[in-house]
Amino acid sequence: MYNLGRAGLTFWSPTINIARDPRWGRIAEAPGEDPFLVGTYAVNYVRGLQDVQGTENHTDLSSRPLKVSACCKHFTAYDVENWKGVDRYHFDARVTEQDMEETFNPPFEMCVKDGDVSGIMCSYNRVNGIPSCADPNLLKQTLRQEWDLHGYIVSDCDSVSVMVTGHNFLNDTYEDAIAQTLRAGMDLDCGKSYPKYTGNAVNQSKVRESDIDKALENLYIVLFRTGFFDGIPAYKSLGKNDICTNKSIELATRAAKEGITLLKNEGGTLPLSTAMFKNLAVVGPHANATIAMLGNYAFESKHPGSPCHYTSPIDGFSTYGKVNYAAGCGDIACNKTSLIPQAVESAKIADATIILVGLDLTVEVEKLDRVDLLLPGNQSELINQVANAAKGPVILVLMCAGGVDISFAKNNPKIKAILWVGYPGEEGGRAIADVVFGLYNPGGRLPVTWYEANYVNKIPLTSMQFRPDDSKGYPGRTYKFFNGSTVFPFGFGLSYTKFNYTTIQTLQTLPVKLGRHTHCHDLNYMANKTKPTCPAVLSNDLQCGEYFKLNIEVKNVGRRDGSEVVLVYSKPPDGIIGTHFKQLIGFKRVFVAAGGREVVNFVFNGCKSLGIVDYASNRLLPSGGHTIIVGDGVASFPLQVTFH
């Protein structure tokens, strides 16, 4: 696209903010609620965009060639768009140092340290009173000095102007705001403030030319690395024939299939057989989805990611049988019930009924947060009426990003199967149909917790904390701290086959060597639990060279080939007050043929995989009995950490 003059070489992607709350409007852009998951996604995304083959381990990172420049955003603690009158241009995210160190910042740290990203975007919001784009502690100290960023820092669009007109930070003029952001370490303004007011700021002695020189140096080095001035030979021949290739379309299909998550499959209803189910009712507001399948961003004509064509759900199912389509709703809002009877009639005569419902960009999107966790309008009524009238099995397909409380459908015996497909992209319809009819066995896992609808009444979106607050009646957030009932938990996902795990434990004790002058660090323990003599040690005081291995044999004891995503968690020693229930430390997808078995190997660093963060934001390695948990508890074993 760049060679054809249709794109640049710097891409402001990926979004790696934590999906802290399902109401967040931009949750479609976020990889999930777990910082390790999000950070791993960030590293792979960035490496995929940036790495030029053969230069991945370049000794001088400031001159390492870039295919294109990626940009991890939005730094940091950004996840409020516009919720009940509170918008991102005025919001001050009050965040504890513990939550910052433990949850909000680790994905960005992994993006910089492990992904070697060449760009970071600072966010609109304030963090503890200071606009993130004007905070030298975040930009200069954390990003550049502590994490060693080799790249540039850019504002979210018009963030400098927002400082003046929205946050009214220190009653700054535009010249003051430019001085604040340049000195903090922000190199580029996505907006008009830098070009328009920087000259005035220099003339008023608020900005030094050396500040501008440093920003320009960071920007031009990235341009040189992308080959903007002299090109990169390996990519000069790419052109129109390399766009929309069959290989690319198949990759889009594969991505959609791998992300589809089976949430219910009563009595092994799925997959359907083409011999038995020839007449299909395909109903619902997403039955003929095209642009909606893309989620945020890509649909905009100004971006180079517009698909060459779409395969809608109707198109996909038409390859398997005769389709009778009925929208059931005029749109996602589904404010009227006048179209429901047609969908009901279709279901009455169909061998099987597929209902496609959910959300779209009129409900969850940039600049708009949700206020509830329900399906919009009369979608629930559509589902119930169609399910009650259907002659054959009913399959419910949910297209959305944030979780939706569909307890009514989960508990409805007429609804035999439920699939969550996210926003599956251009080939989404083909992927959904292939899963329903068994050409592909789903193995996806939920990257976020699906809460019950009353969750939104218990805690405001604007409360940034993750741990429960009993004094306010606030529940915890994410699987790490929420202990209430859910519609579906983080990491949930079924398959058309059955897998058995056998863990091959290689280590029962992890001895950690301390230096002569290493200090023990205290931890708060419950009164009825025994505290170790040396409860913990600061990770920074350790060499952190201890590793432990875990080998898991995955056996497919079912009748179908399938892929299994193996999740591994660590649980800290019992009795520590205020820490997480468990944390994800590893995940791998493995394909296992029916009747076959595969061994999945993990290697974990003790400090990273067993560490906790205390109330003072110290990263600690606790001693005592940790527990390694595989999946949803299908296997677990103790791991004793000892200091010597």
The residues assigned a catalytic role are 156
Q: What is the mean pLDDT of residues 337-350?
A: 98
Mean residue pLDDT of the chain comes to: 96
The pLDDT value given to residue 506: 67
What per-residue confidence (pLDDT) applies to 303?
54
Report the range of poorest mean pLDDT among 212-226, 254-268, 301-315, 589-603: 301-315
Question: What's the whole-model pTM score?
Answer: 0.97
What is the rounded CA–CA span in Å between residue 15 and residue 45?
10
Residue 115's pLDDT band (boundaries 50, 70, 90)? very high
Residue 298 banded pLDDT, cuts 50, 70, 90: low
- Find, among 382, 363, 362, 360, the residue nearest to 372 by Cα: 363
Give the residue-averaged pLDDT of 159-176: 96
Helix (H, G, I), strand (E, B) or coil at 265: strand
Looking at residues 238-256, what average pLDDT do you find? 96
Q: What is the pLDDT of residue 500?
A: 96
pLDDT at 146: 98
Residue 469 is given by DSSP the state B
Assess whether pLDDT exceeds 80 at residue 193.
yes
Sign of CA dihedral 428, 433, 439, 444: positive
- For range 21-46, the mean pLDDT: 97
- Summarize pLDDT for 542-556 with one digit per residue, the tens: 999 999 999 999 999
pLDDT at residue 258 is higher than 80: yes
Residue 171: predicted pLDDT: 94
> Lowest-confidence range among 28-37, 190-199, 305-314, 382-391?
305-314
pLDDT bracket for residue 82 (50, 70, 90) = very high
> Is residue 247 classed exposed, middle or buried when 0-12, 13-18 and 19+ CB atoms within 10 A define those classes?
exposed
401-412 mean pLDDT: 98
Residue 578 has pLDDT above 60, yes or no: yes
The per-residue pLDDT for range 464-510, each reduced to its tens digit, is 999 999 999 999 999 999 989 999 999 999 999 999 999 886 678 99
Of the candidates 482, 423, 401, the one whose C-alpha atom is nearest the C-alpha of residue 32 is: 401
3-state secondary structure of 149: coil
Band of the pLDDT at 277, cuts 50, 70, 90?
very high
Question: What pLDDT score was predicted for residue 301?
Answer: 46
What's the rounded mean pLDDT across residues 97-124?
Answer: 98
* Residue 300: pLDDT over 80: no
Main-chain phi, psi angles of 199, to 5 degrees: -60, -45
The DSSP output letter for 504 is E
Q: What is the DSSP letter of 138?
A: I
Over range 567-583, report the average pLDDT. Answer: 97
Reply yes or no on whether the pLDDT at 294 is more than 60: yes
pLDDT attached to residue 539: 96
> Quick one: average pLDDT of 37-44?
98
